[in-house]
Structures are given as structure tokens and as C-alpha cells.
Amino acid sequence: MSLEMPEPDAGVLARREEIILALRAIVPGEGVIDDPSALLVYESDGLTAYRQPPMVAVLPETTAQVAAILRWCHLNGVKLVPRGSGTSLSGGALPLADGVLLGLGKFKRVLDIDPANRVAVLQPGVTNLAVTQAIEHLGFYYAPDPSSQIACSIGGNVAENSGGVHCLKYGLTTNNVLGVEFVTIEGEIMRIGGRGLDAAGLDLLGVIVGSEGLLGVVTEVTVRILPKPEAARALLLGFATVEGAGRCVAEVIAAGIIPAGMEMMDRLAIHAAEAFVHAGYPLDVEALLIVELDGPEAECSELIGEVEAIATGNGAVYARISQSEQERLNFWAGRKAAFPAVGRLAPDFYCMDGTIPRRRLPDVLTRMKMLSAQYGLGVANVFHAGDGNLHPLILYDVNKPGDLDKAEEFGADILRFCVEMGGVLTGEHGVGVEKRELMPVMFTEADIAQQWHVKCAFDSKSLLNPGKMFPLLHRCAELGRVHVHGGQMAFPELPRF
């Protein structure tokens, strides 16, 4: 594993004992972890190919402690990596050998539920699913639902601007956050936004969300909550061609329908999922669509019929409408298990996360087939079809010499082609360490420089999460990946994508 991170600072490493003492003065007791075996817990996040234990980990319990830690690190030139639940798929929480790991896991309280303003105020360590669980008795839910929602934290969602299967209709994290309490690297505590719908001055909240832990540390989050829809129903649609499925998606949207979710799987993914969870998927189709509609019962009934008619008009050879909540969940079970299901097809696989204009889907799939033949590696595709976010899963065997390099080259070629087609490197997993060196494929030097100027406005010494998001000064050929060996990955029990 040859990922290049910024060279550890020997001067900082030599001061390790002094740094630990300083942190202990801020966070007493067991909140500072320096035992090498205990630090292994933090050596990786959801991107398990890369491992690096931190110099020391600190688990503060109050905003004042967070501020004191940041202030001390700033004054003493020590780097920090913030971490929520550690489920990042792009290495956003990968520690540094000469850095402090700042874990927000003890910030677990739901601070306020305010139905009159339709907001909830949370500490950043609250898990995504726990937000909905805290408000569902009032008839509300929190809309963004990344597949790892039972484990991922709301603070991590803010850092990564997490998505989910419902974001075409309900937006990403950034569209559902109204305010944060934010600590700068200088240790200043500030409130940005709040329970109102906008804040005075520049939209700093907008740039903090999705900043991958490079701008500051969020210690409180105010999110928008929504009334739970009266009903949800899903259609399972099979097509003889991917083009037919793609046309169906475009026509549904052209008809003025924005489904709550619209997911596509290709033949390999369908077969893998069916063999794994027996969801009842048709096996004689090239593409499968799951279309979910939510809202009043009257709306679901009306639109289900419209979507079915559009599907039939585009050559659907299979159509089934969920007749019960159990059946709707069953439609989703195969899709949500697609990742581990594909994991059974090969010893290893590697997941990409590009977005493309949907009209380019046939081009991208054709190119992928070509590349698949060229590299001699299989690829399965699951696709957030409504918003064009593609998750190709490349199959390889790490024990076969050369396979890993081929998989990595294949993945990079796919992302380059996504950008060439007018798309982007990452739709929801973040840049992290994984796609850092591909940034110049999408951005010019001036584009990246403008982002870097913003980084410097927040963190002039570049102490917060260095080595992430921006290419290292010297180009690094190695491109990181979500590597999964023998089905072993971090949090294997979590649904993915």
C-alpha cells in the first residue's frame, strides 16, 4: 500500500510526550489515548486499504475542550484529523502519523427538537438514523439517508455532504442543514446560521458543509426535519436494454414526476443481488429499475400508473408494483445488498462514485464494457439513476499479480471518462485521499488555487486534515480505492450505497 501522505514532521514526533501531556491537561482521564494497540482502532475508516495509526487520539466531551485542543494545536503547529463514526469511503478520516486524531464520538446528545420551527439540534456524534428515531414520534423524519445511516454520524454527514437514495427529491445534507456551531483552528467558537432560513453575510455554512474536515470542527448541527409522507410505493421494472431503462428514467422526469428514489442495476448486479437475498428480481433482463413514489396515497396511486405506462412504452419486459410495505422493502433489499452481493463474485472489488449527465449513460456503459475487456476485469453497475450518480464495482483478485494495478487503472479511466462526458469525480463519497490526485482532471490550476485560497482563509497553517481533497504538490501516481478483500471491509454489516 503506497499511498503518499505528507511527510511526518520529525520535530512533532519527537514532542509526542509533551503533546500528550498538553492534551491530558485539556481532556482528563481516558479521553486521551496514547497506547499503540488502542490507537489501532482509529487506523482506518471505511476506505480500509489505507491504514495509519494516529500519533495520539483525543475524545473531548465539550465544545470548550474542542476549542482548547484546536487552539493548542494551532499555537504548537500540530496537525489534526477530525473523525465522526469513521465510515468515510474516501479516506476522509485517515489519521496522520504526526497528527492528533480528534474523535467526536462523545458528542452524542440530541439537544433540542423544535417542531414549531421544524428543526432538530444535534451534537455531531448522533448517528444519522438516530435523528429520525428521535423525531418520528412527532411524525417527522430527517431526509438524507446515506446507506450507512445506522452508523454514520451527522457531523460526518456535514463534513462529507452525504447523499443517499432520496436526494434527487429531498437534497443532500447541505440542503437540509440550517446552522452549525463551528470551532476554528484558532479555537474561536462561532455560530453560523441557526433556526432561521438564512444567515446574515456570506453563506459560510454552504462552504463548511462538504469541506471534508479541512476548514474547522463542527460541534453542533441544526437540521431541517420534514413530515413523514403518508405513503410510499415502489415499482420494479425490467428492461431488455440499458438504453430502454435510461429512456424510461428521462421520460418519467420529463413527465414532471420526481420519484423519491430511482435506482438502476445492470445484469451482473441483478444476478449477484438475487443470488444473495432472493428479492424476486427478474433474471432475464439487462437492466432493472426500482422507482419509489411517496406522498399522499392519492398521489402514489395516480403516479404509479403513469410510471408503469411510461415503462411499458419504453419496452419494459417486467413490471411489478409493491402491494404491501413488506414487498416495497423487499424490492429495496436486493439493491441495498448489492455491494456485499457483488463481493461474492470475486475475491476483491473496488467501488467508484462518479456522476454523469444521465443522457450519457449508454456511452459510459459502452466504454466500461470496452475497458472491462481491455483490462480483463469484470464490472457490475449500480446507479442512482435519477441523479446520474454511478457506482461501478470492479472485480479483481488482489492475490493475482498485477490485478490490483489493473483495477486501479480501470477505475481511474472510468472517472476520467465521467469527467469527459460532462460529469464529476465524486457524487457523494467525497474526494478524501482517494480521488485527491484526480482533481486536476476536473479542475484547472486556477480552479484548485481558488479553493486553496478559501482553505487558507480558514486554516492558514494547513493543520486541519492535511493530505485530503487537494493533490499533493508532487504528483502521486497511486490512486486510492475502496478495496474489499474476501468480503472483509469495515462495518461489513452496513448496507452500502
Partner 1 sequence: MLRPATEAELSEIVGEAAATGGRLAIRGGGSKIEIGAPEENVRALEMRGFDGVVDYDPPELVLTVRAGTRLAEVQALVAGQNQMLAFEPFDHGPIFGRPAGDATIGGVVAANVSGSQRISSGALRDHLLGVRAVSGRGELFVSGAKVVKNVTGYDLPKLLAGSWGRLAALTEVTLKVLPAPRMAVTCVLRGLAPEAAVQAMAAAMGSQAEVAAAAHRPMPEPMTLFRLQGFNASVTARMQALERRLAPFGQLQRAAEAEALWEELRSLAPLPVDVPLWRVSVPPAAGGGLGRTLQALGAEWLLDWAGGLAWISMADGAAVRQAAAAAGGHAMLLRGPAALRAVVPAFHPQASALAALEGRVRKAFDPAGVFETGRF
Q: How far is the CB of 227 from partner 1 (least distance, A)?
A: 5
* Residue 207 touches partner 1, criterion: CB under 8 A: yes
Binding of partner 1 by 473 (CB under 8 A): no
What is the distance between the terminal CA atoms of the chain, rounded to a whole angstrom? 25
Binding string, residues 141-160; x marks residues near partner 1 by CB under 8 A? -------------------x
- Work out which of 41, 134, 150, 250 binds partner 1, going by CB under 8 A: 250
Give the total of residues touching partner 1 (CB under 8 A). Answer: 97
Query: Cβ 88 to partner 1, closest distance in Å?
Result: 12
Closer residue to partner 1, CB minimum distance, 54 or 187: 187
Q: Minimal distance in Å, beta carbon 486 to partner 1?
A: 30
Kindly indicate which of the ranges 79-87, 247-255, 339-347, 397-405 contains the residues binding partner 1, using the contact rule CB under 8 A. 247-255
Q: Is 209 in the site for partner 1 (CB under 8 A)?
A: yes
- 227 is an interface residue for partner 1 by CB under 8 A: yes
Q: Which residues, numbered 79-138, are part of the site for partner 1 (CB under 8 A)?
A: 114-119
Q: Single out the residue of 348, 319, 316 nearest to residue 489, CA to CA.
A: 348
Residue among 19, 303, 346, 368 that touches partner 1 (CB under 8 A): 303
9 versus 114: smaller Cβ distance to partner 1: 114
Closer CB to partner 1, 93 or 404, in the complex:
93
The smaller minimum CB distance to partner 1, of residues 65 and 355, is found at 355
CB of 464 to partner 1, least distance (A): 13
Closer to partner 1 by CB, 129 or 250: give it.
Answer: 250
Site residues (CB under 8 A) for partner 1, limited to 165-194? 167-168, 171-172, 174-175, 184, 188-192, 194
Q: How far is the CB of 124 from partner 1 (least distance, A)?
A: 18
User: Do the beta carbons of residue 170 and residue 176 sit within 8 Å?
Assistant: yes
Q: Does 296 bind partner 1 (CB under 8 A)?
A: yes
List residues bridging with 101 in a β-sheet.
Answer: 57, 81
Rounded Cα distance between 284 and 169, Å, is 30
Binding range to partner 1, per CB under 8 A, among 4-12, 93-101, 195-203, 279-287: 195-203
22-81: contacts with partner 1 (CB under 8 A): none
**Cell matching residue 190:** 462561532
Taking residues 343 to 382 in sequence order and writing x for each that binds partner 1 by CB under 8 A, - otherwise, the string is ------------xxxxx-----------------------
CB of 296 to partner 1, least distance (A): 5
Between strands 348-351 and 389-396, the pairing is antiparallel
- By CB under 8 A, residue 140 contacts partner 1: yes
Q: Kindly tell me which of 373 and 446 has the beta carbon lying closer to partner 1.
A: 446
Footprint of partner 1 on 476-495 (CB under 8 A): none
Question: CB atoms < 10 A from the CB of 19, how many?
Answer: 22
254 binds partner 1 (CB under 8 A): yes
CB of 445 to partner 1, least distance (A): 10
> In the complex, what is the shortest distance from the CB of residue 250 to partner 1, in angstroms, rounded to a whole number?
4
Shortest Å, Cβ 327 to partner 1: 22
Ranges within 371-430 binding partner 1 (CB under 8 A): 384, 387-389, 422-430
Nearest approach in angstroms of CB 211 to partner 1 is 6
Give φ, ψ of 462 to 5 degrees: 55, 55
